[in-house]
Amino acid sequence: MAEKQKRFQLLQGNEACVEGALAAGMRFFAGYPITPSTEIAERSAVRLPQVGGKFMQMEDEIASIAAALGASVAGTKSMTATSGPGFSLKQENIGYATIAEIPIVIVDVMRSGPSTGLPTSPSQGDVMQAKWGTHGDHPVIAICPCSVQDTFNQTVRAFNLAERFRTPVILLMDEIVGHMREGCEIIPPDELEIHNRNTHMINSMPYAFGEGQYVPHMTSFGDGHLYNITGLFHDEAGFPTNDNQIAGEENDRIMKKIQIYKYSGILDYEEYQMEDADIGIVCYGGTTRAVREAVDEARDMGYNVGMFRPVTLWPFPEYELVSRARQLRRLIVVEHNYGQVLLTVEGIIKGDTKVEFIGKVNGTAISPTEIIKKIEEGDE
């Protein structure tokens, strides 16, 4: 019985995030308290010392991500967590992690905004910021869990992708998912697929890669081989370069390592009742539960409704949604903002299917009743 109680726990989404990170091998967390993500820092402070890890509360959000990047360069799987205002402050270092190719997981538990907004209320207003927040062209992996168990699972996947592709991965949670409390299975590491970074031999070039490869192996700083790390375009040795060909090739490679391997574990989505649907609902994160309930109720009322949930928001599962949309009369996008994923959906559907929208930004959650009403109104 004791083992069962340990493996199956009643957790918040934020707490499940920490347990997933620990299972994936996180041994360093740096953060700064901010609602509604603070429980991630609190649980990390308790749990990391129990497994030989380190927790640091930093003086601000910028220092938090900088410390986590330093720990990752030193060879330790690292994470930081925040909400909207702190996510804004972390953007420059997210870009730094991209060009320096430093694995890190950044958790953003979204809240109503802008500015201080409604700190304890749900929102999904950081979706476009996750994609475009840092300057310059850059690849993005952003994952959006929808439940406590899914948060555990997707946190493990976020670490695997960060380590595999030497890139920052954003775990895009929201207040609903972060603070909901459900049963969660804490799956031990030996039952999970865990990816650890590929490492260089001591004296090899830190950014060298073979023909046809896009992800250099990584040398752990302090393991006997120091190397130059910079946010400038750099050569294989890590030193800055103004060579236009090298800069162009490096940028292309950093972009392509996500684009080319999109279908090798990066892209993920969920479908529910889509087989015979002629009305589809696109949702993600905290809206998923209301949509799933609305789908069931609408089917009881005689509507053929289905749900399409991008688990990986960026890169977006464009082809998969377009393929499904061909069978649909209507496509309804449901999100807690003014239509950030809606813009992407409209852009890829290109008018072939009628696209509609349900959005909410007043700090309350979208209900199944509101979704049912939209379904009925469109079929009058």
> In the listed set 170, 191, 212, which residue is the last one of a domain according to the structure?
191
Backbone angles phi, psi at 294, to 5 degrees: -65, -40
CATH number of the domain that residue 127 is part of: 3.40.50.970
pLDDT at 350 over 70: yes
- Asked if the structure places residue 208 within a domain, the reply is no
- Asked if the structure places residue 211 within a domain, the reply is no
C-alpha distance from residue 11 to each of 37, 115, 179, 288 (Å):
14, 29, 9, 19
**What pLDDT score was predicted for residue 234?**
94
Residues 79 and 177 in one domain: yes
Cis-peptide into 315, omega within 30 deg:
yes
Q: What is the pLDDT of residues 7-36, one digit of tens each?
A: 999 999 999 999 999 999 999 999 999 999
Q: Count the neighbouring beta carbons within 10 Å of the beta carbon of residue 218.
A: 20
**What pLDDT score was predicted for residue 3?**
47
Domain of 74, in residue numbers: 8-191
Residues 281 and 372 in one domain: yes
Total domains, the chain: 2
DSSP for 8-73 reads: EEEEEHHHHHHHHHHHHT--EEEE---TTTHHHHHHHHHHHHHTT-EEEE-SSHHHHHHHHHHHHH
Q: What is the pLDDT of residues 69-95, one digit of tens each?
A: 999 999 999 999 999 999 999 999 999
What is the rounded end-to-end Cα distance, in angstroms, of the chain? 55
**What pLDDT score was predicted for residue 1?**
40
Q: What is the pLDDT of residues 211-254, one digit of tens each?
A: 778 898 888 776 767 888 999 999 988 999 999 999 999 999 99
Cα separation, 201 vs 355, in Å, equals 53
Cis-peptide into 36, omega within 30 deg:
yes
167: which 2 tokens? 């890139």
Residues 74 and 172 in one domain: yes
What is the reported pTM? 0.95
Cα separation, 310 vs 294, in Å, equals 18
- Asked if the structure places residue 157 within a domain, the reply is yes
pLDDT at 311 over 60: yes
**What pLDDT score was predicted for residue 211?**
74
Pairing, β 28-31 against β 78-82:
parallel
Residues 19 and 156 in one domain: yes
Q: Count the neighbouring beta carbons within 10 Å of the beta carbon of residue 354.
A: 14
pLDDT at 47 over 90: yes
- Asked if the structure places residue 243 within a domain, the reply is no
Contact status, residue 324 vs residue 353, Cβ threshold 8 Å = no
| Least-confidence region, from 75-84, 149-158, 238-247, 328-337 | 238-247
**What pLDDT score was predicted for residue 203?**
57
> In the listed set 191, 219, 252, which residue is the last one of a domain according to the structure?
191
Q: How many helices (H) and strands (E) does the chain have?
A: 14, 14
- Asked if the structure places residue 329 within a domain, the reply is yes
CATH number of the domain that residue 301 is part of: 3.40.50.920
**What pLDDT score was predicted for residue 2?**
41
Average pLDDT, the chain: 94
Cα separation, 289 vs 286, in Å, equals 7
Residues 34 and 158 in one domain: yes
293: which 2 tokens? 């309930």
For residues 160-188, average pLDDT: 97
**Closest by Cα among 122, 96, 352 to 233:** 96
Q: What is the pLDDT of residues 136-146, one digit of tens each?
A: 999 999 999 99
Residues 14 and 151 in one domain: yes
Residues 166 and 283 in one domain: no
DSSP-derived letter for residue 238 is: S
Sign of the Cα pseudo-torsion (55, 201, 159, 99, in order): positive
- Asked if the structure places residue 80 within a domain, the reply is yes
- Asked if the structure places residue 253 within a domain, the reply is no
- Asked if the structure places residue 203 within a domain, the reply is no
Q: Which residue has the tokens 């060009």?
A: 99
